[in-house]
Amino acid sequence: MTILQVLQLSKRFGGLQAVDEVSFSLRQGMIKAVIGPNGAGKTTLFNLIAGMLAPTGGEIRFQGRAIQGMRPFRIAGLGIARTFQNIKMFTGMTALENVMVGRHSQSKSGFLASMLHTSGCRSEERAIRVRALELLDFLGIADCADTLATNLAFGQQRAVEMARALAMEPSLLLLDEPAAGLNIYETAEIGRLIVRIRELGITVLLVEHDMSLVMDISDEIVVLSFGQKIAEDIPTVIQQDPEVIKVYLGE
């Protein structure tokens, strides 16, 4: 079953065609990677799907519903979670609180209920805390729960960001360079983690520079170059693709 469909998606910034009529789709439960040299339009593509940018052309369909141009918080509410290339922790909040914010779209206490601490609000709050702790535990950083997120090591912050995204109970998880800034051991760890996330039934779309990670875990790979899709296939085929080799290694 197709969960996400990107159809002829385009984004132009003035004279620059950052994404040029790109089409691909994701089946439920797969891990798909988008690769390409710097400036190929990977992050722009991500921001289009997550709603941070509005496309200049084309369509994005999530579970059959057109979502292009929707505000990011609405897209998040539909079940698309994301992480950021340069980690964006909520400053001044603990790791646990960061993950608790991830429960936002799964809970509903408003201003009045929160001010009055109604019994519904209190039980929801307990449920949020329990789930957030579970996720910190799932990512192996439960002992960091009460540390300010910005004081954690880089790899731990990345894990908090993952937990925060998982707290949204997404059906699609967008990972923007999850291995950026990590050493090979941490990268291998992240790779195992992504596979475990898929086992939870979550579809994963990732943008990544680290070839070994992408080749290891992806079911399919999309290759972008100068905003255009130049290849899409399973990893072993992509590795042999002369066009891809040309883009990456030069002639």
State the residues that interact with other proteins by CB under 8 A: 50, 52, 71-73, 76-77, 81-82, 84, 88-93, 97, 100-105, 107, 109-111, 114-117, 121, 124-125, 128, 164, 168
Smallest distance, other proteins to C-beta of residue 45, A: 16
Nearest approach in angstroms of CB 125 to other proteins is: 7
Q: Which is nearer to other proteins, 87 or 215 (CB)?
A: 87
Q: Write out the E strands in 63-191.
A: 65-66, 80-82, 172-176
Q: What count of other Cβ atoms lies within 10 Å of the Cβ of residue 1?
A: 9
Nearest C-alpha neighbor of 234 from the set 212, 216, 248, 218: 218
Closest C-alpha to 178, from 73, 57, 34:
34
Q: Rounded to 5 degrees, what angle do the CA atoms 171, 172, 176 make?
A: 150
Smaller CB separation from other proteins, 109 or 225: 109
Least Å distance, CB 218 to other proteins, is 23
Closest CB 78 distance from other proteins, rounded Å: 9
Element (H, E) at 135: helix 119-138
Residue closer to other proteins, measured from CB, 88 or 246 = 88
Using the minimum distance from each CB to other proteins, give the nearer residue, 81 or 141.
81
